[in-house]
Structure formats: structure tokens, C-alpha cells
Amino acid sequence: MSLKKSKIGVIGVGYLGNYHAQKYAAMDHVDLVGVCDVSEEQAERVATLYNTTAFTDYTELIRHVDGVSIVVPTPFHHKVASDCLDNGIDVMLEKPITVTLEEADDLITRADSRNLILQVGHLERFNPAIVAMEEYLTSPLLIESQRVHKFNPRGADVDVVLDLMIHDIDIILTIVPSPLKAIQTMGAPIVTKETDVANAQLTFENGCTANVTVSRVAHENVRNMRIFQPGSSITVNYAAKEITVIERGGGVNDQGFPIEKTKRFCFTDKDALEDELIDFTQNIRTRQTPMVSGRDGRQALAVALQIIDQIKHHINSHKELLGG
């Protein structure tokens, strides 16, 4: 017997929301009921592409669906998600979960009280390289993460920590089995009024240290992470969806170097966004807690906001150097 199709809508069909609609439209177990955007022209364009109905008022759309992807600007996350949850709709909410921790707590409470799904779109958790890496994790001691992008006006209205670094914060908090002990940061605006480059050193109670660097004013795109742990190291290339694992056993070779065994895995045939949205639709049917829950989204936001506050203090303390 075939499964009943989940009725899904997408609220906000700009650059990223369009891809949400595209993925849902291709799923056999999903009925893409409609798409919504404040731009009637954009809503109509995307609806035509995927043979669905266009809405400009999301409160009309949510009357007809079981779940929604919310892909609107972050300041509107709380309002839109609240209305959806209050109407019994499961929610896939793009990252960051909200602007403030109070807003995040409110959404979590609303979802819990109604036994609804609140999933947060930390897409890199579904990157096949990150998924494959989990098998080789033991006890991370040192993590080096670099995420630098060429400048793109899209998304430049928010701090680079919320725009880019929050991905790495979420992954690091997931793979280090220890409470966070301390944060040291620095950052600066370069081409916008917000912070465009930032560095954060996260120290955990078990001794692990993570050094995270992000930039959105680079001349090339680089997204990688290196993890050092007793007896091995792991390198993740997010863009190439590739991991390299180097395991060091006992003994040395003829040149006196430690004997190493290298494994490489590449997953270019995998689609992280598709996997993320499939997970959401499965959670709607099974009522399972998402891989990236509202609480996970809140945890990443809490650390990101601490980093932002420290960087603002750094900037205010060095106005002369930074041209302020």
C-alpha cells in the first residue's frame, strides 16, 4: 500500500526557497501544495515552474498543508514559525533559528506543547562528507575550520557569524562531547557595516580546542575542516563532499616517518538539501525528533550570539585601528 503523501508548502521562495520547492516537487511522497512569497511575481514564477499554487499570504497557504519550509529573512522567522506552529503545522525553519534566544525558546515551547516538528536548516549536517566522518570520530583534540567566501550581497545584511560561522559552530558542538568552557574572538567589518571577517577559538571542558575562521570578502571559496585526535586525523572538504582519514599505527617507515594509512571518500552524487528535506518529511510521518532539532538550533545560536557580542566589544575597543 502506498504511503499517504505529505502536504507541504514553502514560505519564501527567493534564491534558497526556490530550491526547497524544487526538491519537494520531485519527491514521490510529497504533494507540494503551494509556495508563498511577498512578491506576487516571484510566487507565480516558482509556482509555474513546479506546477503548484502561488500565495502571497502565508496564512492562506498553511490552511492546506501538514508541514512547511520557512525560508524568509531571519527577523521574520519567529512570527511566521509561531503562526504555523499555532495552527498545528510542522516546521522546517532555515538557519539561524531566530534572532534572539527568547524567540528560539518560545518556538521550542510552542512546538513541544503541540507535539509538532521544529527542524532547523543547518544544511551542513546533511553534507555526506560530514555524515561519513562520524564513523571515524574518536576523541577530537584540535579542530581547525575555515569557511571563506567571495563577496555576495545576498545575506550581507547580517553578521558573518550568523551568515556563515553558525554552520561550523553547530557541527563542532555536535562532534565534541563536552560542555563549552571559554570563547575568544576577534573580527571586523571590511566592506559592509556588519562583521565580514571573524575568528573564534572555542575551548571545551575536556580540553578540545576548535579554531574557526570565516570571511565573506575572500577571492575564492574555501570550506574545510580538519580534526586531530589520538592516532588519526580527518580532513573534510565540504564543497567537494570529500573526507580524508589518516590513521597512524605503531612503528616508522624506512625514512623514519610514522607509518600511515590513508583513506579517501568522495560523495559527489549526494544532495544535502534533498536529504535534509527528505528527513523533514519522514519526521512528519514518523513523529521522530529531527537530526537538527529546535534545541540544536538554539544551542548554535547561543554560541553565535556570544561570539558576536565579543567581536562588537573588540571593534569598539579598536575603533582607531578599524577606521571607526
Which one is predicted more confidently, 218 or 33? 33
3-class SS at 170?
helix
Q: Where are the domains of the chain?
A: 6-122+273-292, 125-270+304-319
How far is the CA of 234 from the CAs of 93, 121, 250, in angstroms? 30, 25, 18
Topology of the domain covering 125-270+304-319? Dihydrodipicolinate Reductase; domain 2 (3.30.360)
pTM: 0.93
> 165 — phi, psi (to 5°)?
-65, -25
Q: Which CATH architecture best describes the domain 6-122+273-292?
A: 3-Layer(aba) Sandwich (3.40)
How far is the CA of 118 from the CAs of 97, 133, 147, 278, in angstroms? 10, 26, 27, 14
Q: Crossing angle, helix 15-25 and helix 40-49, to 10 degrees?
A: 30
Q: What is the pLDDT of residues 208-235, one digit of tens each?
A: 999 999 999 999 999 999 999 999 999 9
Q: What is the pLDDT of residues 159-196, one digit of tens each?
A: 899 999 999 999 999 999 999 999 999 999 888 888 99
**pLDDT at site 2:** 57
